[in-house]
């Protein structure tokens, strides 16, 4: 047979077979649905045969992210179906024709995101109000003369600055590369947490563990103000190496709001201490009890509101949540001990370096990444925030037990009846 004739016949045969292919158009081709909600998708069919019983299997590539009401659909000329958002992430809907010899496959991208909830707003507002009240108490309790002395000889703040903005960024960068070698988004979550200033909870824990509260507040102020310069430095150096294409920007407004949230309540506390001594004394007396209540409230409420994140916890995320703050505690303690700082100062420095402001890290992630990646990567700072208090809590329990045991021993030693019993 003439080769030209053969090629022509083959082309006509292939074209007839190809045009017979079932062609489906989905509207929209990219579907965004909230977690726990459903959305309707329309479809249109070309080359539809009314005589044949056309069937199409429509299924989700990952039913843990998105699912369908009915996976086997009898196709009409056009129609709709429902997609259910199960959990955060991206998946695809695959559509395969059963009757056509040349089965076609059509893909629809499904993006499942998380909708804003009222409980998130309530949690943020209640924590902000309680923290402001605590800082008013701090302002009443502070020895403002000691604060001036600390700023004149700033050994503690310098140690805290070096730990916060040299050790912690490098640590989080290295751990991110080690624990999440194939996930730049998770590395970014680690790195943003490590470059954030010290967290407000550092002052509460310093108070509860009998550290130098004046030094702790001074370091928090220095750390937060220094964030205006140090966060851009790290984000546009190591941050670029992690995520070259990211829309990275420093949340100056967010950092400034933390500065205001720190300084204004302290100023109110100072005025109360100076002009309302009885009120100041009362606030100082309830300060530890109020701090404990606030920490318990934050731990429980944060766990409840972020319960959905526990579904994606892995051993790497748990290790990251423990390693970043716990190694920060250890580094801060060793540096302050090496420089011969008093024990209360060592406690304050170690706590300040180890506790990060995860709120700023979460804000950065949501600003820099699209959904659902932004919400998925917040699992890293959330994990760090949840696991940070455990060594401090164990130390607090130990100190309370030791103090109670010491008081019991001293009272028994000083009791004459006890001495007589021992002689018998």
* CB of 179 closer than 8 Å to CB of 315: no
Residues 6+ apart with CB under 8 A from 224: 197, 198, 255, 258, 259, 262, 357
Q: Tokens standing for 413?
A: 């030693």
pLDDT of residue 70: 63
* CB of 354 closer than 8 Å to CB of 325: yes
Q: Tokens standing for 334?
A: 């060793």
Residue 47 backbone phi and psi in degrees, to 5: 60, 35
Helix (H) or strand (E) holding 282: helix 277-285
Lowest-confidence pick of 195-199, 226-230, 395-399, 417-421: 417-421
Residues 6+ apart with CB under 8 A from 18: 102
pLDDT digits (tens, 9 = 90+) for 251-305: 567 667 767 777 788 888 889 888 888 888 888 888 778 777 777 777 777 777 7
Whether 113 shows a pLDDT value over 50: the answer reads yes
pLDDT of residue 47: 62
* CB of 359 closer than 8 Å to CB of 384: no
pLDDT band at 423 (very low <50, low <70, confident <90, very high): very low
pLDDT of residue 414: 55
As annotated, the residues of the chain forming the CATH 1.20.1530.20 domain(s) are 118-399
In a 13 Å sphere around the CA of 26, the CA atoms on its Cβ side amount to 20
* CB of 72 closer than 8 Å to CB of 34: no
Please calculate the CA angle 308-311-313 and round it to the nearest 5 degrees.
115
Whether 373 shows a pLDDT value over 50: the answer reads yes
pLDDT of residue 105: 57
Whether 157 shows a pLDDT value over 60: the answer reads yes
Whether 141 shows a pLDDT value over 50: the answer reads yes
Lowest-confidence pick of 43-52, 92-101, 290-299, 300-309: 43-52
pLDDT band at 3 (very low <50, low <70, confident <90, very high): very low
pLDDT digits (tens, 9 = 90+) for 397-422: 888 888 788 776 665 555 554 333 33
CA 316/CA 28 separation, integer angstroms? 37
pLDDT digits (tens, 9 = 90+) for 164-195: 999 999 999 999 989 988 888 888 889 988 98
pLDDT of residue 250: 56
pLDDT of residue 413: 55
Tell whether domain 23-113 is in CATH 1.10.10.10: no
pLDDT of residue 348: 92
The CATH fold assigned to 118-399 is Na+/H+ antiporter like fold (1.20.1530)
* CB of 32 closer than 8 Å to CB of 111: yes
Q: Within a 10 A sphere around the Cβ of 227, how many other Cβ atoms?
A: 26
pLDDT band at 346 (very low <50, low <70, confident <90, very high): very high
Extended beta strands in 62-159, E state: 66-68, 72-74, 78-85, 89-97, 105-113
What region does 36 belong to: left with phi over 0, alpha with psi -120 to 50, or beta? Answer: left
Helix (H, G, I), strand (E, B) or coil at 134: helix
CA 320/CA 202 separation, integer angstroms? 19
Please calculate the CA angle 71-21-4 and round it to the nearest 5 degrees.
155
As annotated, the residues of the chain forming the CATH 2.60.40.3450 domain(s) are 23-113
pLDDT of residue 352: 92
Whole-model pTM? Answer: 0.72
How far lies 157's CA from each of 142, 161, 214, 216, in Å? 17, 6, 11, 9
Percent of the chain with pLDDT over 70: 79
């Amino acid at each position: 047979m003439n080769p030209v004739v053969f090629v022509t016949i083959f082309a006509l045969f292939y074209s007839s077979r190809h045009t017979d292919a079932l062609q489906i158009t989905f509207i929209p081709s990219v579907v965004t649905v909230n977690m726990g909600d459903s959305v309707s998708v329309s479809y249109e069919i070309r080359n539809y045969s009314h005589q044949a019983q056309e069937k199409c299997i429509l299924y989700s590539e990952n039913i843990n992210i998105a699912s369908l009401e009915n996976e086997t659909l009898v196709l009409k000329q056009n129609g709709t179906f429902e997609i259910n958002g199960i959990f955060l992430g991206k998946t695809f809907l695959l559509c395969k024709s059963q009757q056509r010899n040349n089965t076609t496959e059509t893909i629809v991208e499904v993006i499942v995101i998380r909708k804003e909830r009222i409980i998130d707003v309530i949690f943020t507002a209640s924590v902000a109000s309680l923290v402001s009240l605590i800082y008013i108490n701090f302002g009443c309790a502070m020895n403002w003369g000691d604060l001036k002395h600390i700023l004149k000889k700033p050994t503690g703040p310098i140690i805290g600055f070096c730990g916060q903005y040299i050790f912690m960024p490098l640590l989080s960068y290295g751990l991110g590369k080690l624990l999440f070698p194939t996930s730049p988004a998770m590395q970014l979550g680690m790195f943003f947490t490590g470059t954030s200033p010290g967290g407000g909870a550092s002052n509460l824990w310093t108070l509860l563990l009998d550290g130098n509260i004046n030094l702790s507040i001074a370091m928090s102020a220095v750390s937060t103000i220094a964030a205006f310069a140090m966060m851009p430095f790290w984000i546009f150096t190591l941050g670029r190496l992690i995520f070259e294409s990211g829309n990275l920007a420093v949340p100056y407004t967010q950092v400034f709001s933390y500065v205001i949230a720190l300084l204004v309540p302290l100023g109110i506390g100072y005025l109360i201490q100076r002009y309302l001594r009885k009120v100041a004394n009362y606030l100082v007396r309830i300060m530890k009890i109020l701090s404990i209540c606030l920490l318990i409230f934050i731990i429980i409420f944060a766990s409840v509101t972020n319960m959905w994140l526990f579904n994606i916890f892995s051993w790497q995320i748990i290790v990251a949540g423990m390693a970043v703050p716990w190694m920060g505690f250890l580094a801060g303690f060793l540096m302050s001990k090496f420089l011969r700082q008093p024990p209360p100062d060592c406690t304050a420095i170690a706590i300040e370096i180890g506790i990060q402001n995860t709120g700023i890290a979460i804000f950065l992630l949501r600003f820099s990444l699209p959904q659902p990646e932004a919400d998925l990567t917040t699992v890293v700072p959330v994990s760090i925030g949840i696991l940070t208090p455990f060594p401090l809590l164990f130390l607090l329990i130990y100190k309370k037990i030791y103090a109670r045991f010491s008081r019991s021993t001293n009272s028994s030693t000083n009791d004459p009846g006890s001495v007589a019993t021992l002689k018998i």
